[in-house]
Structure 1
């Protein structure tokens, strides 16, 4: 667990727990994890989360920075079909407001969306709406109608929010994950 990111650990922890039908899991607590879980709770993918009380902290020092995550099941099937990390520590992926608008409209139609990492392309070209940014390489994420779900973004305006809220706030940001 020391070499990978806390968010990647959380996503694999949730996947493994839901495969084994576990109702409550315990995970290390960070601001990023709390923001990510808040978005999952708002969209109905988990029942909620809770912090350990102060009395438990005194009794169990190892639980001090832990959070309990209450997983959700619908008809004995996990509420989360799949959850994946998009932006990684080694390769950050960002989405612009225009690409977010395309993603939102294509999600309604059941088509694919576009997400861009901030790296230079081979030809060095840059599209006109992205002037001032480094050249971008396009990465397609195929979305079939049954696996639309939500994208979770880290934005400068709203913190960690869903792609639909980022679209309403007219802001882009780093794409942390995709849940469906």
Structure 2
């Protein structure tokens, strides 16, 4: 199966698993997905993730979802920049999510990072998604 938007696919898998109150969800492994998961883990939106390798060389990430009092920690996860419409932000125009309670995840020349890290590093980039 050919995927044109692997990040969007991963975010949809997370969203669907949380609606069904699953403890974990799997997604195919890639470098960009791993960096986005690193940001989600460091910001406290997921418990963690691990890489599972198969005999044929393929790999998957198993993502452990996080709940607080039976409610998902991630209330909203939304793809911003899509393959058909790329969205870029300079350091002065990085969007704030829910007055700082949420996070915008950016792909910058210094790597994938949260919006507050990008402001501190004084870099802009492509806005991949926003999490609240």
Q: TM-score, normalised by structure 1?
A: 0.68
Q: Which residue of 2 aligns with 1:155?
A: 108
Larger Rg: 1
Q: Which residue of 2 aligns with 1:121?
A: none
- Name stretches of at least 5 consecutive residues in structure 1 with no aligned partner: 108-142
Q: Which residue of 2 aligns with 1:117?
A: none
CA distance in 2, matches of 1:36, 1:28: 13
1:1-180 alignment, distance < 5 Å = 2-52=2-52, 57-58=54-55, 61=56, 64-100=58-94, 103=95, 107=96, 144-145=98-99, 148-157=101-110, 159-180=111-132
Alignment RMSD (CA, Å): 1.8
More helix by share: 1
SS of 2:38 mapped into structure 1: helix
Q: TM-score, normalised by structure 2?
A: 0.92
More strand by share: 2
1:51 CA drift (Å): 1.1
1:144 CA drift (Å): 4.9
- Name stretches of at least 5 consecutive residues in structure 2 with no aligned partner: none
CA distance in 2, matches of 1:77, 1:4: 31
1:98 CA drift (Å): 1.7
